[in-house]
Amino acid sequence: MDGTVHITNIAIFHQALEAGDFPVRWTDGFANYGLPMGSFAQQLTSYLGGFLTFFSGDVITAFNWVYVIGTITSVLAFYLFLRLHVSAWPATVGAFLFNFAPYRIINFYIRGALPEYFSSLFVITLLIGFHLYIKKKQLWSLLLITLSTWGLVLSHPMNAITGSVILGPYLLFLLWREKKAFKLLLAVVASIGLGLVLSAYYLIPLLKEVQYLNYGSSSNHYNPSPLSWLNFFSPHWFYYLVQHNEILSRGHFITVGLPEMLLFLAGIGVWIARRIRKQTIDILDVIVVAGGISLFLTTQLADGLYRQIDVLSNIQFPWRMLSTFIFIPGAIAAYGLQKFHWPVIGLVLIILISWMRFPEVYGKNFTDFPQSHYYFTIDNLHTANMNTVWTARTTEYPVEATKVGIIEGEGRISELAVGNSVRKFTVEAKTSLRLVDYTFYFPGWNVYVDGQAQPIEFQDVNYRGVITYRVPVGRHQIEVLFEETKTVKIGNLISLVGWGVFCLFALITLTRTKNFRWLIS
**Is 60 exceeded by the pLDDT of residue 470?**
yes
pLDDT tens-place string over residues 488-508: 999 999 999 999 999 999 999
- pTM reported for the whole predicted model: 0.94
**Is 80 exceeded by the pLDDT of residue 154?**
yes
User: What's the pLDDT at 239?
Assistant: 87
Identify whether the C-beta of residue 83 lies closer than 8 Å to the C-beta of residue 334: no
Q: What mean pLDDT value characterizes the chain?
A: 94
d(CA 447, CA 470): 10
User: What's the pLDDT at 520?
Assistant: 36
**What is the pLDDT averaged over residues 373-392?**
94
CA-to-CA dists, residue 137 to 129, 178, 189, 213, angstroms:
10, 11, 15, 45
**Is 90 exceeded by the pLDDT of residue 342?**
no
d(CA 347, CA 344): 5
Of 39, 52, 121, which is closest to residue 80 (Cα–Cα)?
A: 121
User: What's the pLDDT at 236?
Assistant: 86
**Is 70 exceeded by the pLDDT of residue 514?**
no
Band (pLDDT 50/70/90 cuts) for residue 9 is very high
**Is 50 exceeded by the pLDDT of residue 479?**
yes
**What is the pLDDT averaged over residues 79-90?**
97
**Is 90 exceeded by the pLDDT of residue 96?**
yes
Which range is least confidently modeled, 72-81, 212-221, 323-332? 212-221
Band (pLDDT 50/70/90 cuts) for residue 341 is confident
Identify whether the C-beta of residue 510 lies closer than 8 Å to the C-beta of residue 140: yes
User: What's the pLDDT at 238?
Assistant: 86
Band (pLDDT 50/70/90 cuts) for residue 521 is very low
User: What's the pLDDT at 343?
Assistant: 85
Can you name the residues that pair with 433 across neighbouring β-strands? 471
CATH of range 400-482; options 3.30.420, 2.60.120, 3.40.50, 2.60.40: 2.60.40
Is residue 481 helix, strand or coil? strand
pLDDT tens-place string over residues 106-135: 999 999 999 999 999 999 999 999 999 999
**What is the pLDDT averaged over residues 301-310?**
96
**Is 90 exceeded by the pLDDT of residue 1?**
no
**What is the pLDDT averaged over residues 511-520?**
57
Percentages helix, strand, coil for the chain (3-state, rounded to 5) are 60, 10, 30
pLDDT tens-place string over residues 224-251: 999 999 999 988 888 888 777 777 778 8
**What is the pLDDT averaged over residues 281-304?**
96
User: What's the pLDDT at 202?
Assistant: 97
Question: Torsions phi, psi of 413, nearest 5?
Answer: -105, 135
User: What's the pLDDT at 368?
Assistant: 83
User: What's the pLDDT at 518?
Assistant: 39
**What is the pLDDT averaged over residues 319-325?**
97
Return the C-alpha torsion angle 151, 154, 156, 158, nearest 10.
100
User: What's the pLDDT at 266?
Assistant: 96
DSSP 217-248: G-S---------HHHHH-----S-BGGGTB-S
d(CA 482, CA 235): 52
CA atoms within 13 A on the CB side of 500: 6
Domain positions in the chain are 2-365, 400-482
Q: Which helix (H) or strand (E) holds 452?
A: strand 452-454
pLDDT tens-place string over residues 196-210: 999 999 999 999 999
d(CA 205, CA 190): 22
User: What's the pLDDT at 455?
Assistant: 96
CA atoms within 13 A on the CB side of 396: 12
Can you name the residues that pair with 412 across neighbouring β-strands? 428
User: What's the pLDDT at 516?
Assistant: 54
d(CA 458, CA 466): 5
**Directed axis angle between helix 200-209 and helix 181-198, to 10°?**
70
User: What's the pLDDT at 235?
Assistant: 87
**What is the pLDDT averaged over residues 294-319?**
95
User: What's the pLDDT at 290?
Assistant: 97
Share of the chain above pLDDT 70, in %: 98
